[in-house]
Structure 1
């Protein structure tokens, strides 16, 4: 009862504070005696709620933390692996996020990040020996995701170094070659690139390489061109794949930047992955010693072993790009207000966010299993290809929805999402287009090859 009278007095004080002219206007619209009568019949709880509303409403709602890992798959990592994952996340948020738009807009590479990235000790993560950590493919996938979640260009640079370049030497090199290059590349003291794609040959690399090699004594002579070769404008070595004129088999070579006849030109005017320095490589009677031929690379089957491993990494990159876009959009919808409310409170916005999260969660669970298969040594080409197809398709859909939620702001680089939309297009195409990867899966499930 004491609180009841206190609330009545509070109501009286609020009413007495109103301008007399406004009270007069109010009395013509509202039956004040009836209102007072109704207030007198209210319970203390209802009166308290009403007083709270009159004094400015209830406390602001607590907004849930933004977390694109809705099924908490990250908690499946061991405590040591989780620590590495979060260390990479901190690095990306602290070192890369503040500078990503600057370098992306100028199509330049931030060389100052290389020694900082080296301190993470994550290059060649799954390899055994040669200074490499020897960790799981699952952790490697999470790291690819964490990088792409902030900047896909940085993830691509690292993927070329740790996966394609180091992987070629690890899987196809001699013991001498592994000892010479892998420890230095693991510390990022030497940077590598991977040259397979050509100006007129992408998907048909298995049997149609136009870059040739021919043995002459203790050396090989390489001729041809490679295109879209990431890191190659500044790499110390580039793994070049060429067709042997004598036996028509694909062979791999470690080509050093100082080799006569090797020329790398930066590709300009890209609309995606602009931080990545892609090169057009010209090999004109480029002489490579037999000691720099990858000794265990004797056919395209050996090249495919590298691609199988890295294609799984690209699927994780797609997850990271999609997760970054989803989390940006979710944060924005809580900040952006229309009609006096955050747009996150509108039904159509929530429907889009849930659609995005559903796709993202499906992608995450797929690549999680993919990495488990890789760790169990049962990963096949078609497994990696299915993940590449599905994850890049869903990634495209998620970044499209995210840009939609930003409205006009979605095309401004300052909001980050425009960079994700553009970079997603590159991830969708590289390491095998949707069509080529679909044919790999189609061959596996039907028994019929439909490539030609």
Structure 2
């Protein structure tokens, strides 16, 4: 038996039908097993209640910090940057148990830390990233605006104006995860002087910065999304990110995180398959488990096929990122394909649950709703389709 096929403490997830997790090293699999135990023991028991109440479990943040998995893509003196494949499997583990906590973690460690790592000066990285790694400082990422979603590149209206040793920000942002309690808020604004989009770190408590929780959501309810208002918000010049000077710099961050959403979809699909399979083998109708009926098995086979094809694509995405040859269209294809397969999978799973599928106690209703958010954010299916279409035809069809 080869080392890769030797059982270890991680075990095999039912949704990982081809055993892709065996591509990780033994040490990485050990960390992944520790993360899985934490999520099962500390997150899953409270996930439904937190989702129903639309409240965030702040008490878990120090416990997540103890896992030392925030900012795995960042180089620190005592911890070298990990491979993208390893970090991606961890992201999938979060989404397998709860897409809301996965989104919180992804915004903090991917979007916020990733922006500072890629776009900050050495001094800025040293100032903020160590505290973000220990999660003493939580980050948010403010790009989307009330009237600018898919058209955010051309329709970004938040402005930045240099005034002596400060920058003055005015505008609004919407759907900004973590922003109601974040310590460091990445805000993208258009410089009035040259028209270019630039990045700023707005620290908690800065006058002129207001974040209000978005209420009455039907997906990712645990995530504290906010409407942000910036009114004469003065940011010190040293908080302007040194290497965030155009939307092209913003795009470098989004290219990496769009691939991350594909992994979130994979994780959520794994969780979907496990819930549906476990229910099917225990739920009895007509004197037998419903898993013995052909149509139910067809649902399960289709779901696990969706997981497997999406996971294979996501693994290749991570490998291309590690090789430094990952392209925009590859990120777009992964995001649109995996989230579309997730949407189809949760619909089939909910069907297996029958009427119980709309009751929160059975978990699948939460996953069903959360899938809608993953399907839409980080670029809609339509926009990502056009990115791929432009790549394969050489012709743009955006307008």
TM-score by length of 1: 0.85
Conserved? CA contact 2:147–2:155, under 8 Å: no
Native 8 Å contact 1:66 1:331 kept in 2: no
1:206 aligns with 2:153: yes
SS at match of 2:135: coil
8 A contact 1:261–1:284 mirrored in 2: yes
- Give the CA deviation at 1:450: 1.4
Is there any run of 5+ residues in structure 2 with no aligned partner, and where?
A: 1-11
Name 2:9's counterpart in structure 1. Answer: none
**Residue 5 of structure 2 corresponds to which residue in structure 1?**
none
Q: 2: distance between equivalents of 1:223 and 1:210?
A: 9
**Which structure carries more relative contact order (alpha carbon 8 Å, separation 6+)?**
2
1:275 aligns with 2:222: yes
Query: Who is 1:432 aligned against?
Result: 379
**Structure 2: how far apart are the matches of 1:249 and 1:442?**
27
> Which SS does the other structure have where 1:109 is aligned?
coil
SS in 1 for 2:361: helix
Count residues with an aligned counterpart.
388
How far apart, CA to CA, are the structure 2 residues paired with 1:154 and 1:105? 14
Is the 8 Å Cα contact of residues 169 and 231 (structure 2) preserved in structure 1? yes
Q: Of 357, 362, 377, which aligns to 1:415?
A: 362
1:355 is the counterpart of 2:302: yes
After TM superposition, the structure 1 stretch with the greater mean CA deviation from structure 2, 90-99 or 133-142, is 133-142
Match of 1:158 among 82, 86, 105: 105
The reply on whether 1:75 has 2:22 as its aligned counterpart is: yes
Distance 1:130 1:435, change over 3 A: farther
Residue 218 of structure 1, CA deviation: 1.4
Alignment of 1:43-82 (within 5 A): 67-82=14-29
Shift, 1:307, TM fit: 0.4
Structure 1, unpaired ranges of 5+: 1-64
User: Where does residue 45 of structure 1 map in the other structure?
Assistant: none
**1:359 Cα deviation from its structure 2 partner:** 1.1
* Cα 1:145/1:170, change in 2 over 3 Å: same
- Does residue 323 (structure 1) correspond to residue 273 (structure 2)? The answer is no
Q: How does 1:285-304 map to 2 (within 5 A)?
A: 285-304=232-251
Question: Structure 1, residues 230-250: CA drift from partner, whole Å, max 9, x if none?
Answer: 000000010000011111100
CA pair 102-143 structure 1, distance change in 2 beyond 3 A: same
* TM-superposed deviation, 1:66: 6.5
Supply the RMSD in Å over aligned alpha carbons.
Answer: 1.0
TM-score normalised by the chain length of structure 2 = 0.96
Classify the secondary structure of the residue corresponding to 1:243. Answer: strand
Partner of 1:374: 321
3-state secondary structure, aligned to 1:178: helix
Partner of 1:192: 139
Query: Structure 1 residues 230 and 441, CA, compared in 2 at 3 Å: closer, same or farther?
Result: same
2:129 aligned with 1:182, yes or no? Answer: yes
What SS does the aligned partner of 1:315 have? Answer: helix
Partner of 2:205 in structure 1?
258
Report the structure number with the largest CA radius of gyration: 1
1:243 to 190, 207, 215: 190
Is 1:442 matched up with 2:371? no
Post-superposition offset of 1:133: 4.5
What does residue 24 of structure 1 align with? none
Deviation at 1:270, TM superposition (A): 0.3
Shift of 1:227: 0.3
| 1:269 to 1:329, Cα distance in 2 relative to 1, 3 A | same
- Give the 3-state SS of the residue equivalent to 1:99 in structure 2: helix
Q: How far did residue 265 of structure 1 move?
A: 0.5
Q: Which moved more, 1:206-215 or 1:191-200?
A: 206-215
How much has 1:259 moved relative to structure 2? 1.0
